[in-house]
């Protein structure tokens, strides 16, 4: 049986092996990915991001537990967690993360947890994460939680990868941290104030709310419309609401799981909104396109590598080092023959 077939047959060991192949970017892994691709496109991808110390991991654990043991009347869903740590490119923090989680959710065959530290480029990390979500998707994990640490480009990349992006804040993280999040807020579909039992939770929520008003001016415009001062009030308000998603703010205490059920409900609402509005398909296609272009760049580079003589390359590099050629002139020389 091929690796891909074993995974479709729900073989956990095969799944684990493929994830390692993907991390190492092997030929075998790529082949299996190709075979699994037609079985993808069903899972809900949920990105969870926020600064260190906000309690993201514990929140993700509780979300996973909720999906396994939901409120009465709802079906349990199979859950995968991909925990990405792009801020530790060198050390093995990922392994520690695995161990801490294991105690929480181990033994449940409907849960699979994989963590991954950054290796080499951030681009490579994004590609590996994307590939892993496809494997989980094909292996019939219905919810895939993608957790990342840090503040910056990694979050934006998650937003492109996930259907629903959750940004986690916590009280007492300092003013400057809040300010810096202004950009990140704009990628949030749902905001969480975690550690909401701590002093300052109200301030954090208020700060988030005022930042939301800056970041989503449509929400305040919408509010004005309801005041009846705009000619747009003639339009059916329900239509307007259907097309607009204003990121809600949910308080949680992830150590105790408080508010996690409400957060899960908000996630469902967002995903229903995406399906209604066409946003789901839009995000899927944007994601596939990004992935296509990543593979394309790789393919073009490897073709170029095969076409160029080592002597010409070394010679050009030397001329660059001696500043006889500029980087752009060097590229012209290196691509003249293809």
What minimum distance in Å lies between the beta carbon of 4 and its own copies? 11
What minimum distance in Å lies between the beta carbon of 149 and its own copies? 7
C-alpha span between 324 and 338 (Å, rounded): 23
CB 101 within 8 Å of CB 81: yes
What minimum distance in Å lies between the beta carbon of 292 and its own copies? 5
| Cβ-based nearer residue to its own copies, 76 or 301 | 301
| Cβ-based nearer residue to its own copies, 142 or 186 | 186
| Cβ-based nearer residue to its own copies, 8 or 265 | 8
3-state helix, strand, coil in the chain (%, to 5): 60, 15, 30
C-alpha span between 139 and 167 (Å, rounded): 27
Give the binding site for its own copies (CB under 8 A).
Answer: 30, 33-34, 37-38, 40-41, 52-53, 86-91, 93, 118, 121-123, 149-154, 156, 174, 176-177, 179-180, 182-184, 186, 284-285, 288-289, 291-292, 295-297, 299-301, 303-304, 317, 320-321, 323, 326-332, 334-335, 338
| Cβ-based nearer residue to its own copies, 79 or 189 | 189
Backbone angles phi, psi at 221, to 5 degrees: -60, -45
73, containing H or E segment = none
Residues 10, 14, 15, 18: what is their CA dihedral angle, to the nearest 10 degrees? Answer: -150
| Cβ-based nearer residue to its own copies, 6 or 118 | 118
| Cβ-based nearer residue to its own copies, 34 or 243 | 34
CA 165-273-81 angle, to 5 degrees, is 35
What minimum distance in Å lies between the beta carbon of 91 and its own copies? 5
Strand partners, 84: 116, 148
User: What is residue 258's DSSP assignment?
Assistant: B
260-277 vs 279-307: helix crossing angle, rounded to 10: 80
The closest of 60, 48, 64, 43 to 136, measured between CA atoms, is 43
Residues 6+ apart with CB under 8 A from 161: 45, 47, 126, 129, 130, 133, 146, 287
| Cβ-based nearer residue to its own copies, 88 or 210 | 88
Please, what is the end-to-end C-alpha distance for the chain in angstroms? Answer: 41
| Cβ-based nearer residue to its own copies, 209 or 303 | 303
Separation of CA 246 from chain center: 20
């Amino acid at each position: 049986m091929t690796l891909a077939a074993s995974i479709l047959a729900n073989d956990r060991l095969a799944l684990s092996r493929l994830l390692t192949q993907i991390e190492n970017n092997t030929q075998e892994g790529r082949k299996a990915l190709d075979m699994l691709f037609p079985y993808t496109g069903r899972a809900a991808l949920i990105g969870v991001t926020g600064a260190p110390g906000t309690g993201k991991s514990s929140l993700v654990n509780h979300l996973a537990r909720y999906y396994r043991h939901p409120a009465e009347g709802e079906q349990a869903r199979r859950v995968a967690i991909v925990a990405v740590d792009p801020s530790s490119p060198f050390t093995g923090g990922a392994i520690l993360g695995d161990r801490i989680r294991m105690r929480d959710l181990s033994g449940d065959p409907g849960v699979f947890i994989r963590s991954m530290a950054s290796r080499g480029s951030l681009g490579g990390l994004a590609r590996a994460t994307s590939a892993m979500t496809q494997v989980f998707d094909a292996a019939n994990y219905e919810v895939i939680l993608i957790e990342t640490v840090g503040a910056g480009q990694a979050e934006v990349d998650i937003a492109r990868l996930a259907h629903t992006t959750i940004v986690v804040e916590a009280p007492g993280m300092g003013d400057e941290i809040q300010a810096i999040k202004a950009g990140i807020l704009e990628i949030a579909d749902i905001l969480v104030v975690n550690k909401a039992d701590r002093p300052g939770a109200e301030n954090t929520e208020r700060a988030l709310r005022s930042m939301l008003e800056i970041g989503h001016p449509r929400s305040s415009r919408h509010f004005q419309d309801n005041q009846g001062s705009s000619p747009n009030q003639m339009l059916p308000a329900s239509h307007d609401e259907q097309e607009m998603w204003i990121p809600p703010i949910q308080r949680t205490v992830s150590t105790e799981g408080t508010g996690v059920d409400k957060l899960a409900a908000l996630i469902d609402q967002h995903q229903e909104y995406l399906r209604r509005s066409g946003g789901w398909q839009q995000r899927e296609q944007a994601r596939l396109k990004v992935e296509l272009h990543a593979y394309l760049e790789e393919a073009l580079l490897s073709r170029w590598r095969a076409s160029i003589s080592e002597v010409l390359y070394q010679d050009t590099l030397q001329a660059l080092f001696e500043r006889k050629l500029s980087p752009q002139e060097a590229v012209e020389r290196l691509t003249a023959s293809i």
